[in-house]
Structure 1
Amino acid sequence: MTTAVRWRSIPELVRDAAERFGDAEAVVDGELRLTFAELAHRVRCTAGAFASAGVGPGDRVALWAPNSAEWIVAAFGLLTAGGVLVPVNTRFRDEEAHDIVVRSAARILLVQNGFLGRRFTGPPGVPVIDLKRDGFLASGRPLEHKAGEDDLADVIFTSGTTGRPKGVMTTHGQTLRLYAEWCELAQLRQGDRYLIVNPFFHIFGYKAGLVASLMKGATVLPVDVFDVDRVLELVERERVTVLPGPPTLYHSLLAAGGGRDLSSLRVAVTGSADIPVELVRRITTELPFRHLMTGYGLTEAGTVTASRPGDPYEAIATTVGRPCEGFEVRIADDQEVLVRGYSVMRGYLDDPEATAEAVDEDGWLHTGDLGELDGQGRLRIVGRKKDMFIVGGFNAYPAEIEGFLLKHPAVAQVAVIGVPDDRMGQVGKAFVVPRGEVTQAGLIAWAKERMAGFKVPRYVEFRTQLPLNATGKVMKDQLS
């Protein structure tokens, strides 16, 4: 059954949330506490500020800042002025960020100077406004532009871990329909307290976080930099109920030990190509979450598949669920996952060649992920086309190997890559963050008892941490 959507645009959602939830807390950011009514008023004033600065319908504005109440007001204020949001990864250096600002033709760049001790600069000719210091957000008269469901809402650039980032174009209607369903699958409720560690510049934090919370009347608690002690303190003090994140978040919670009251936690949401079965088991047995949703998504389409409430444990642990309403998923001859549906992007910004390469003439998005479907139509991700390596003629998938290695009691985190080998062409190398005593020889011997010989890593390198991007994914291009 299709989830009913009552809004034509995200600004309409903001206004409707104020009418429905009024004096309930919408945002808690340090000492700042905003009700839904107060948030909507600030958003409308910010829309007026954008209009006064010459930003009109369809104009793009870049937002290069960490999670905060000001980010929320700025983003929704821009959309309410009819503008198009271009979030920028806070881990990008100046040259990387300037490339996105210029390619998106952003009229203005909003920043938060001082974050991580940095001063954020803009490319020549683009005005730079500090979210927290310049008074811009409160400087306008209340305004709301009537956007439509087919109007472009945002251009979100891919992470760029495998090449130059590309700008993914998505409309208001696409976002609203998909994340209305996401709320139901995640069991998000009115009154939930949603701690968002996922960056707002990513769809997990922005759409499955901010947009979803407005839909259901959940309180957003933004976290700018993940620190496990701070997160645990906020969960206890603010009685957090919803805590989604990448697998690394739950690894950290499990490693932090006891001493905090985490009993309020109810909903966990995670998913990636390399979420291990053992981690899913530990989340559901060692932490107080009562509902765990796993899923699969990408910037070019949003959340594509998800587990369903009531799914058996084995399905949640070993797959990323079934397609969301309005999506088709099929597996190509080379095992690539292909996706088709209403939420597939409108294209890459100013890049018709890359768009045509990603979305074929029949509307299938070629994801670059490798997978398989089980008898119930649930998707299992086995790796990335670009990650796969060939050992003596056999295809080896790092995600599968990592899943095996994470079952070892002394392995906390692991990433596997292929490295050159004179005899076999390539062999596996594992980078391991241990949580107990383990040796290279011991881990390799343990692996040989559990997986085919060509899958067993020939080398193991121990690390205190793995290089992660801001969304929690391991940056394998930094491993060698």
Structure 2
Amino acid sequence: MLEGEELPDLEAIVTFRGQGSESCLSWDAFLQKSENASSEQVRLRQQQVAPDSMSDLLFTSGTTGKPKGVMTSHGQNLQVVEDWSGVVGLQEGDRYLIVNPFFHSFGYKAGWMAALMRGCTILPLQVFDVPTILRMVSDEKVSVLPGPPTLYQSILAHPELDAFDISSLRVAVTGAAAIPVSMIHQMRDELGFDTIITAYGLTEVCGFATICRAGDDPELIANTSGRAMPGIEVRCVDGEGKEVTSGSPGEVVIRGYNLMQGYFENPEATAETIDSEGWLHTGDIGVMDEQGYLKITDRMKDMFITGGFNVYPAEIENLMSNHKAIAQVAVVGVPDERMGEVAMAYIIPVAGEDLSKEEVVSWCRQEMANYKVPRHVNIVDSLPTNASGKVLKFELRKAYQTSFGMNNIN
């Protein structure tokens, strides 16, 4: 992607794997470059980092499918992770199994960053695998195990759960999908968690906005994403930006020290997202109760959640349009008993091209992250559209419900 770009300030490209080349440094060669740096040089470099210095640039795909770089600073990340760790009850000496991917703000900030700040032992797991997780919990005495609801559901359903010693488990943090109240009870009674917390956030707010508190009852944990974290304001507003009454749906807006510095080289998108009063508009629809506990009820756009990850149909559609045999594609989220929702692709093939469902899925697995790959594919002759030619996705969801139904999911 960088080929042909003018990058006058680029000093080196480092590759994690392989021996490197004339244009790339190997990882070992990169590490060796530090041997000539004195303690004084290191100290001076550290002093150049201020609280408002940019600490990371995480890219998030909007509902248009175009990636936007979210800029956040050192100070705000340190503060919000410290606050999150305090609410969760992360302790020095905890043994923290990090299952969430490190490219995601949760695996990175609530994972690595929180563990380093609190003095926890970090136990990374690259691929989600229930037997491996249970074995690590037993052998490594894991005490902290965050993850999407599907992680705990898979553990609870494992036929050999009783064969493992999971008595060390203490803290669970989940969210980003609907959670049955019965699962919260099972996590406490069968998995032995003392603290179970749900939360809500997005990359534009350093990954953190609302969180339940230790001691909240199972119904509150299962049915809400908690209340605003310290120093952060969360409201639900109407189309004019006015706060709606408790119990009424509205767009979730957030204001506080955790707001991004902006989208990288995209002031227009920044201005569209953060209004003149400093409120960040999330595009999510929520309901807030009188105690300030937030329940996410819908999305203003087409985004859906698979196993705890935000999935944007336009991004999948853009990738699939590169297939030589696909003329047009529309992706919607459909119910799935295990993952919450999964992608379903309606495809119009190029005239004269022979396209099978199996070939589409196989191709997608090579071109995109696994959680984005459509689990269902329907080859069609046409797509429902309005007068302006825009695909009516609610018609596609309705067609799926009619054809397959909630209880007939493959």
> One fold, TM greater than 0.5?
yes
Superposed, 1:118-137 pairs within 5 Å as 127-131=23-27, 134-137=28-31
Do the aligned partners of residues 139 and 366 (structure 1) sit closer, same or farther apart at CA in structure 2, a change above 3 Å counting? Answer: same
1:249 matched to 2:151? The reply is yes
Are positions 1:313 and 2:218 aligned together?
A: yes
Counterpart of 1:136 in 2: which secondary structure? helix
User: Which 10-residue stretch deviates more, 242-251 or 352-361?
Assistant: 242-251
Does residue 355 in structure 1 map to residue 267 in structure 2?
no
Q: Secondary structure at the match of 1:462?
A: coil
Kindly indicate whether the alpha-carbon contact (under 8 Å) linking 1:284 and 1:290 is maintained by their aligned counterparts in 2.
yes
The residue number in structure 2 matching 1:283 is 187
**Cα offset for 1:462?**
2.7
Q: 1:218 aligns with which of 100, 120, 141?
A: 120
Q: What is the one-letter code of the residue matched to 2:256? A: G
343 and 105 in structure 1: CA distance in 2 versus 1, 3 angstrom threshold: farther
- 8 Å Cα contact 1:428-1:458 kept in structure 2: no
Equivalent-residue separation in structure 2 for 1:282 and 1:103 (angstroms):
53
- Residues 345, 106 of structure 1: alpha-carbon distance in 2 compared, 3 angstrom cutoff: farther
Amino acid at match of 1:214: L
2:297 to 369, 382, 398: 382
- With normalisation by structure 1, the TM-score equals 0.58
Please state if 1:373 is matched with 2:288: yes
SS in structure 2 of the partner of residue 137 of structure 1: helix
Query: What is residue 51 of structure 1 aligned with on the other side?
Result: none
Give the residue type in structure 1 aligned to 2:295. R
Give 5+ residue unaligned stretches, structure 1: 1-94, 390-401, 432-439, 445-456, 464-480
Aligned residue in 2 for 1:113: 17
**Can you list the C-alpha shifts for 1:319-376, whole angstroms capped at 9, x where unaligned?**
0101011111111215211111111000000000111111111111111111010111
Partner AA of 1:326 in structure 2: G
Residue 199 of structure 2 corresponds to residue 295 of structure 1: yes
CA distance in 2, matches of 1:215, 1:191: 11
Counterpart Cα distance in 2 of 1:459 and 1:216: 44
3-state DSSP class of the match of 1:166?
A: strand
> Larger deviation: 355-364 or 222-231?
222-231
Q: In structure 2, what is the equivalent of residue 207 of structure 1? A: 109
Change (3 A) 1:192 1:428: same
1:181 alignment partner in structure 2: 83
1:80 corresponding residue in structure 2: none
- Seen in structure 2, the aligned counterparts of structure 1 residues 368 and 278 have a Cα distance that, compared at 3 Å, is farther
CA–CA distance in structure 1, aligned partners of residues 399 and 144 of structure 2: 33
What is the Cα-based RMSD across aligned positions, in Å?
3.6
Residues of 2 paired with 1:199 and 1:234: CA distance?
17
Q: Does 1:323 align with 2:205?
A: no
- Asked if structure 1 preserves the Cα contact closer than 8 Å seen for 2:81 and 2:113, the reply is yes
Q: Is the 8 A contact 1:305 1:320 kept in 2?
A: yes
> Alpha carbons of 1:103 and 1:135: their partners in 2 closer, same or farther (altered >3 Å)?
closer
Shift of 1:460: 5.9
* Structure 2 residues without counterparts, runs of 5 or longer: 240-249, 305-332, 347-382, 386-391
Q: Secondary structure at the match of 1:261?
A: coil
Show the counterpart of 1:272: 176
- 436, 442, 462: which one aligns with 2:409: 462
CA distance in 1, matches of 2:269, 2:408: 36
> Do the aligned residues in 2 keep the contact of 1:416 with 1:430 (CA within 8 Å)?
no
User: Which residue identity is paired with 1:412?
Assistant: R
Whole-angstrom CA distance in 1 between matches of 2:31 and 2:284: 40
Specify the code of the residue in structure 2 equivalent to 1:165.
Answer: P
SS state at 2:395 partner? strand
In the TM superposition, residue 227 of structure 1 has moved relative to its aligned partner by 2.1
TM-score by length of 2: 0.68
Q: 1:185, 1:293 within 8 Å by CA — same for their partners in 2?
A: no
Moved more, 136-145 or 239-248: 136-145
**CA shift at 1:209, angstroms?**
1.3
TM-superposed deviation, 1:139: 3.6
Once residues 211 and 150 of structure 2 are traced to their aligned partners in structure 1, the CA distance between those partners, rounded to angstroms, is 19
Q: Output the CA distance in 1 between the equivalents of 2:297 and 2:221.
A: 15
- Aligned counterpart in structure 2 of residue 158 of structure 1, from 44, 60, 66: 60
Contact 1:428 1:459 in 2 (8 A): no
Query: What's the offset of the Cα at 1:228?
Result: 1.9
Distance 1:279 1:171 in 2: 37
2-side partners of 1:162 and 1:294: how far apart? 28
The answer to whether the Cα contact below 8 Å between 2:224 and 2:294 also exists between their aligned partners in 1 is yes
What is the CA–CA distance in structure 2 between the aligned matches of 1:378 and 1:155, rounded to whole Å?
30
